[in-house]
Amino acid sequence: MPVDVYTWEPSANSGKPLLCLHEKQVPFVHHYVDLEQREHHEPAFLAINPGGTVPALVHDGLVLTESTPMMEYIDDAFDGPPLRPEDPALRWRMRWILRVMDTSVCPALAMIAANARAAPRLRDMPAAEKQAALAKIPDPERRRTWELVMHDATPPAEIAESQLRVADGLALLERMLGEYPYLAGPAFSLADIGTMAVFYHLPASRPDEVSAARTPRLWAWLARCHARPGLQAGFAMGRGAIAERARAARGALGLAA
């Protein structure tokens, strides 16, 4: 049965199934859901995932949401290179780092990006349009977050806390990569895919924090991951800034852009 993936650009949660399927070499159909046009809150997408979040994956009549367990499903359901360690301790390590990324680092980056990029664009939206857009968001917590963004009212302390979480995440990765060449052991795994989906852009976006001199292990890991044909194919699916940011990161790492 065909695999249908409903998601946005190959970044953060939206990117995980795209990168994973490319690494597993599984054919799939990509249905682009434009988050900037808020298509994930429109009836057509809500009929697939009433929660109004991307990604969603449909396979053999089963609809999957939540990007991290979705990656495990892909690894279980399809042939191709295995993407999870056999060793129970290393598999725990894989799941642990994915949980840190999902619950701390990724939300922090999302808050920073929303307030830096979306808030200025939404500032002058008419009040009635803002209320109509907010009313379409099914999840109350997400609705509250976007209400703050739309009204440029996110508390500075929350943004500062997000910056701290990102810095702590970078330090954690540098330490972990001192133990193994990849985040969950000697072999590339879902831990690397999930983290690359969030941090692929670091060499170009945060050169003062991430560099061959300052974070040599993280820098070398980024180069190893960016050199993988599967990840390159996944990031190339971007229709706008994401693909360009991935190319810029490869260029900063000295790889063919």
Distance CA 137, CA 42 (A): 9
Res 93: pLDDT: 98
Cite the DSSP H helix spans in 2-42: 12-24
Banded model confidence at residue 147, pLDDT cuts 50, 70, 90: confident
Neighbours of 60 (CB within 10 A): 8
Determine the pLDDT at residue 257.
64
- pTM score, whole prediction: 0.90
Terminal CA-to-CA distance of the chain, rounded, Å?
Answer: 35
Q: What is the mean pLDDT of the chain?
A: 92
Residues of CATH 3.40.30.10 domain(s) within the chain? 3-77
Integer-rounded Cα radius of gyration of the chain: 18
Using the structure block, give the residue that is written with the tokens 């979705």.
70
Q: What is the mean pLDDT of residues 107-134?
A: 78
Architecture of the domain spanning 88-252: Up-down Bundle (1.20)
Segments of the chain assigned to CATH 1.20.1050.10: 88-252
> What are the strands, taking DSSP E only, across 107-256?
none
Q: Can you tell me the mean pLDDT for 15-40?
A: 95
Q: Strands 56-59 and 62-65: what pairing?
A: antiparallel
* Residue 161 scores a pLDDT above 70: yes
Give 185 or 153, the one with higher predicted confidence: 185
The residue ranking higher by pLDDT, 115 or 232, is 232
The stretch 243-252 carries a mean pLDDT of 95
The tokens for 54 are 């991307």
Q: Please state the CATH superfamily assignment of the domain spanning residues 3-77 in this structure.
A: Glutaredoxin (3.40.30.10)
| pLDDT exceeds 80 at position 172 | yes
Q: What average pLDDT score do residues 168-183 get?
A: 97
- Give the pLDDT score at 119: 67
**Average pLDDT over every residue of 62-73:** 97
